[in-house]
């Protein structure tokens, strides 16, 4: 089976400290557009204090997609995914728009 690599054309910020992982995208007033947040390590998310839905992509250590959530709404949570090492949060609709599926490999560059 051919490996599908998806290039994420958005500005992606890395959340790899306790505080940045805890805060995530909480308390933002406007939905994210053409940006995302990669949370490492992270195998589940909560949408507490969020004001808009986002797409959630759970990845293993090789950046392969192990689970996706389309347009997860505020105040929802995901179950911990044993195979997941990190989580990529993208604008609602990005999973479908970019053709991301379980088994895809994610490639992107980070901003600070």
pTM of the model: 0.92
Q: Tell me: the pLDDT tens digits for 12-62? A: 999 999 888 888 898 889 999 999 999 999 999 999 999 999 999 999 999
| DSSP H stretches of helix in the chain | 18-23, 94-98
Summarised one tens digit per residue, pLDDT across range 75-87 is 999 999 999 999 9
The two three-digit tokens of residue 39, written as one number: 């949370």
Tell me the fold of 5-111: Jelly Rolls (2.60.120)
User: DSSP class of residue 43?
Assistant: S
Q: Is the dihedral of CA 96, 99, 105, 108 positive or negative?
A: negative
Query: Could you give the maximum distance between any two Cα atoms of the chain, in Å?
Result: 42
Enumerate the domain spans of the chain: 5-111
Strand partners, 83: none
Helical (H) or strand (E) element with 39: strand 35-39
């Amino acid at each position: 089976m051919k490996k599908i690599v998806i290039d994420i054309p958005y500005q992606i910020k890395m959340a790899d400290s306790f505080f940045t992982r805890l805060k995530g995208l909480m308390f933002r007033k406007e939905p994210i557009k053409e940006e995302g947040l990669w949370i490492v390590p992270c195998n589940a998310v909560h949408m507490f204090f969020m004001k808009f839905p986002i797409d959630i992509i759970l990845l293993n250590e090789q950046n392969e997609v192990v689970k996706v959530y389309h347009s997860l709404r505020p105040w929802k949570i995901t179950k911990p995914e044993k195979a997941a090492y990190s989580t990529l949060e993208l604008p609602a609709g990005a999973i479908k728009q970019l053709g991301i599926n379980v088994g895809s490999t994610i490639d992107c560059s980070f901003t600070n």
